[in-house]
Chain A
């Protein structure tokens, strides 16, 4: 049911829950498949997610499927729903989540796991998959966290690992076929789904080498579905603008970066396709801003051609073009949008060249100097710098290096600034989190004591340099580390934490570290067991997932890291990471597109 007005008037931001967005498709009345696109976060975050947009649009374009959205209600509404016995429902038609065929959750970050359980609770759906009977929806999960499905496999029926476009299409086809066959079709569906590319079905894939699940990879992004009719959020979303995904994947090989490995190989859209998408999206939505999405926009090979094309769209609709996520070494004055001198964002990640070599972040001090000089000369007056602390082999010298960079930028600004304003310099550090499917997947996370020590040094020193300093909390980083490298034992911890009221853990004001520690203690599980270093031979909970890049390659990269050897971008020559077959098919698709 739709949430009644008297309740809407009691909660903050009622527009989160009303639906009625422009461009909402007509929801089919009797579809063969009812799919709930669920995001375990609040409306403004969920409505910013590109993956959800793509899959939601794609499913609704099918003649046989109706997809609706269902997001996590903020705790104020959550309480009201419980008190009034109103089950969690979709935004479009107010259909209860438990009345859908499939509920698909997008797992974007580990700290949203408890919110999945919170949503299932509010929907009146048992958390554990083994306790869910035939009448309830199949729970599936997609998104980057699924590369290690171990923690969530107690709750999720099907994990869709890798690119969703083809996988979800195949899964929808299969579901509809099984449903038409009747009988206990859900079990038949699960059994057969376990054989589809990229699908992990805990009930039928038992893990282990023989049951390895290979990540699904689409090879032709150019002709893959991309939405034009974006639903316009009722209230401002975190990212509230037209977004073009220019390419997927990254080949730079930064050794801490999971995205750099789990989205390989690089697949691009052509400038022609992107410009026509931009025109369609801005014309059909009316956005005032257009931005590009990728892991490293500066690496797009035909960037100037693309920007030239987008300038026409910009002039036609009088909109802003924003170009984020530029790497320091690919910044060119041409990228700056002359109408808005906003802040420049750089992520050197580490303070010294030595440590940047270890993590294979190929930015040199000269790169930073060159781009800063160009930016200051063209009028920028605000700089944001992102670093990580606790990277493997880090010493106090590397921490000092962060301060040195800040100091150098101050000096550069004095010498080259044209804006007349005082420089605003922000430094922010996160705590390094060793992630599965990276060369650093076995490293230890920095201890709590060392984290505070290093943060305190930075606090003190950066204040003296005159830079603002912000840092990520140790506690959330430790939990994120545990859950990203977690195993089946953490399912119980997660469930306990949800019992204790944990949800929205990505929101500082809602995060209850004490309750999490209590949940760990109650389950007899030691958090430190998950932040420690893993031995080279020690089996990892995600070993049975095959994302394409081989364990051997990760081992090699780890050794090179400790020998301070950098690895070149594999666009300049294949390094044999294991995805040769996919890379071959990507080039074939590319050739086919250019032949058209």
Chain B
């Protein structure tokens, strides 16, 4: 079994998750990679995906478990040789069982580039420590949420804000946080968001999921 970390960029960032799923099965079939299938009348490839980034956001830390006996390096090489533009396997980690990334990954690092944000650096960084109330619309309804404790860390270089935000059950979406910064600090500007890393935020602090999985689920 392999935990595949992949990136989703360019046009692929707009492809909805269900279509990414189908694209994966097609890539694996093109690559001729060995993969186990489910039983039954309509067998499908045994692939399990962790929660994806919202449509339109780029990511370098999407995860998928593939029930494949292929060697890790061979898997990524053959996968990438026939992958679609914007989707690239970055690493494959042999695992003993499905580590359930959606569950263990509870902190996420984003790079949010807000055009012209550099001059607001002090204001942006001072968001941490104060109460943060965001508003957004979901499914046609206005939502107001206190997300103060979901902002784990904030740094800035140039126009780029690097934020570690809580993920999983107490998720804070980066696009909503960026909208908050725009509303309260910078005013209208172009935004570009990249999901950079996924962490486990445990007793020992932040551990990169790849490292966490290697130590807990060695395969």
**Residue contact B29 to A8, C-beta cutoff 8 Å:** no
Report B8-37 residues with CB < 8 Å from chain A CB.
10-12, 14-16, 18-19, 22-23, 25-30, 37
CB-CB < 8 A to B53: which residues of A? none
Instruction: With both chains docked as a complex, state the minimum distance between the C-beta of A377 and any C-beta of chain B, in angstroms.
Output: 18
Let me know if B99 is at the binding interface, CB within 8 A: no
Which of B14, B29, B30, B37 is within 8 Å of A15, CB to CB? B14
- How would you classify the secondary structure of chain A's contact residues: helix, strand, loop or mixed? loop
Instruction: With both chains docked as a complex, state the minimum distance between the C-beta of A360 and any C-beta of chain B, in angstroms.
Output: 39
- In angstroms, Cα B28 to Cα A20, docked, is 19
Instruction: With both chains docked as a complex, state the minimum distance between the C-beta of B9 and any C-beta of chain A, in angstroms.
Output: 10
CB-CB < 8 A to B19: which residues of A? 15, 234-236
Instruction: With both chains docked as a complex, state the minimum distance between the C-beta of A393 and any C-beta of chain B, in angstroms.
Output: 45
Instruction: With both chains docked as a complex, state the minimum distance between the C-beta of B122 and any C-beta of chain A, in angstroms.
Output: 27
- In angstroms, Cα B30 to Cα A282, docked, is 8
CB-CB < 8 A to B82: which residues of A? 286
Let me know if B84 is at the binding interface, CB within 8 A: yes
**Residue contact A20 to B12, C-beta cutoff 8 Å:** yes
**Residue contact A20 to B56, C-beta cutoff 8 Å:** no
CB-CB < 8 A to B26: which residues of A? 22, 232, 285-288
Nearest neighbor of B19 in chain A, beta-carbon distance = A235
- In angstroms, Cα B56 to Cα A588, docked, is 55
Total interface residues on A, CB under 8 Å, equals: 30
CB-CB < 8 A to B10: which residues of A? 18, 20
Nearest neighbor of A339 in chain B, beta-carbon distance = B41
Let me know if A14 is at the binding interface, CB within 8 A: yes
- In angstroms, Cα B193 to Cα A9, docked, is 13
Knowing A22-B85, A232-B84, say if A282 contacts B29 (CB, 8 Å).
yes
**Residue contact A20 to B27, C-beta cutoff 8 Å:** no
Which of B14, B25, B37 is within 8 Å of A8, CB to CB? B14
- In angstroms, Cα B56 to Cα A237, docked, is 20
- In angstroms, Cα B121 to Cα A226, docked, is 58
- In angstroms, Cα B43 to Cα A574, docked, is 47
**Residue contact B56 to A8, C-beta cutoff 8 Å:** yes
Instruction: With both chains docked as a complex, state the minimum distance between the C-beta of B190 and any C-beta of chain A, in angstroms.
Output: 7
Which of A5, A21, A283, A288 is within 8 Å of B25, CB to CB? A288
Let me know if B137 is at the binding interface, CB within 8 A: no
**Residue contact B30 to A234, C-beta cutoff 8 Å:** no
**Residue contact B56 to A15, C-beta cutoff 8 Å:** no
Which of A14, A22, A317, A318 is within 8 Å of B43, CB to CB? A318
Instruction: With both chains docked as a complex, state the minimum distance between the C-beta of A230 and any C-beta of chain B, in angstroms.
Output: 11
CB-CB < 8 A to B23: which residues of A? 22, 232
- In angstroms, Cα B19 to Cα A18, docked, is 14
**Residue contact B16 to A15, C-beta cutoff 8 Å:** yes
Instruction: With both chains docked as a complex, state the minimum distance between the C-beta of B175 and any C-beta of chain A, in angstroms.
Output: 9
**Residue contact B84 to A285, C-beta cutoff 8 Å:** no
Total interface residues on B, CB under 8 Å, equals: 29
**Residue contact A286 to B56, C-beta cutoff 8 Å:** no
- In angstroms, Cα B12 to Cα A14, docked, is 11
CB-CB < 8 A to A8: which residues of B? 14, 56
**Residue contact A286 to B15, C-beta cutoff 8 Å:** no
CB-CB < 8 A to A236: which residues of B? 18-19, 22
Let me know if A284 is at the binding interface, CB within 8 A: yes
Instruction: With both chains docked as a complex, state the minimum distance between the C-beta of B179 and any C-beta of chain A, in angstroms.
Output: 12
Most chain B C-beta atoms within 10 Å of own C-beta, residue among A22, A282, A285, A287: A22
Let me know if B86 is at the binding interface, CB within 8 A: yes
Against B, the Cβ 8 Å flags (1 = close, 0 = not) of A1-37 are 0000110110001110011111010000000000000
- In angstroms, Cα B49 to Cα A85, docked, is 40
**Residue contact A19 to B29, C-beta cutoff 8 Å:** no
Let me know if A340 is at the binding interface, CB within 8 A: yes
Instruction: With both chains docked as a complex, state the minimum distance between the C-beta of B43 and any C-beta of chain A, in angstroms.
Output: 7
Instruction: With both chains docked as a complex, state the minimum distance between the C-beta of A236 and any C-beta of chain B, in angstroms.
Output: 6
CB-CB < 8 A to B192: which residues of A? 5
CB-CB < 8 A to B84: which residues of A? 20-22, 232
**Residue contact B29 to A14, C-beta cutoff 8 Å:** no
- In angstroms, Cα B78 to Cα A246, docked, is 32
- In angstroms, Cα B30 to Cα A460, docked, is 51
Let me know if B133 is at the binding interface, CB within 8 A: no
Knowing A22-B84, A234-B11, say if A286 contacts B16 (CB, 8 Å).
no
Nearest neighbor of A341 in chain B, beta-carbon distance = B41
CB-CB < 8 A to B83: which residues of A? 22
**Residue contact B56 to A5, C-beta cutoff 8 Å:** yes
Let me know if B55 is at the binding interface, CB within 8 A: yes
**Residue contact B29 to A286, C-beta cutoff 8 Å:** yes
**Residue contact B15 to A6, C-beta cutoff 8 Å:** no
- In angstroms, Cα B137 to Cα A326, docked, is 49
Against A, the Cβ 8 Å flags (1 = close, 0 = not) of B175-219 are 000000000000000101000000000000000000000000000
Let me know if B42 is at the binding interface, CB within 8 A: yes
**Residue contact A286 to B30, C-beta cutoff 8 Å:** yes
**Residue contact B43 to A284, C-beta cutoff 8 Å:** no
Which of A13, A20, A287, A288 is within 8 Å of B11, CB to CB? A20
Instruction: With both chains docked as a complex, state the minimum distance between the C-beta of B16 and any C-beta of chain A, in angstroms.
Output: 7
CB-CB < 8 A to A6: which residues of B? 190
CB-CB < 8 A to A234: which residues of B? 11, 14-15, 19
- In angstroms, Cα B83 to Cα A288, docked, is 16
- In angstroms, Cα B25 to Cα A319, docked, is 11
CB-CB < 8 A to B86: which residues of A? 20
Most chain A C-beta atoms within 10 Å of own C-beta, residue among B10, B19, B37: B19
Knowing A8-B56, A15-B16, A19-B11, say if A340 contacts B41 (CB, 8 Å).
yes
**Residue contact A14 to B14, C-beta cutoff 8 Å:** yes
Instruction: With both chains docked as a complex, state the minimum distance between the C-beta of B93 and any C-beta of chain A, in angstroms.
Output: 24
CB-CB < 8 A to A287: which residues of B? 26, 29
CB-CB < 8 A to A285: which residues of B? 26, 30
**Residue contact A18 to B29, C-beta cutoff 8 Å:** no
Knowing A14-B55, A20-B85, A234-B19, say if A286 contacts B25 (CB, 8 Å).
yes
CB-CB < 8 A to B55: which residues of A? 14
Which of A5, A18, A235, A340 is within 8 Å of B42, CB to CB? A340
Instruction: With both chains docked as a complex, state the minimum distance between the C-beta of A341 and any C-beta of chain B, in angstroms.
Output: 8
Nearest neighbor of B190 in chain A, beta-carbon distance = A6
Against B, the Cβ 8 Å flags (1 = close, 0 = not) of A223-253 are 0000000001011100000000000000000
> Which A-B residue pairs are the 5 nearest by beta carbons?
A20-B11, A286-B26, A18-B11, A286-B29, A286-B30
Q: Which residues of B contact A (CB under 8 A)?
A: 10-12, 14-16, 18-19, 22-23, 25-30, 37, 41-43, 55-56, 82-86, 190, 192
| Additional 19 contacts, C-beta under 8 A, given A22-B26, A287-B26 | A5-B192, A14-B56, A18-B11, A18-B14, A20-B84, A22-B84, A24-B85, A234-B19, A235-B19, A236-B18, A284-B30, A286-B26, A286-B28, A286-B29, A286-B30, A288-B22, A288-B26, A318-B43, A341-B41
Q: Which residues of A contact B (CB under 8 A)?
A: 5-6, 8-9, 13-15, 18-22, 24, 232, 234-236, 282-288, 317-319, 339-341
15 contacting pairs across A/B (C-beta < 8 A) = A9-B56, A15-B11, A15-B16, A18-B11, A20-B11, A20-B86, A232-B84, A235-B15, A235-B16, A284-B30, A286-B29, A286-B30, A288-B26, A318-B29, A341-B41
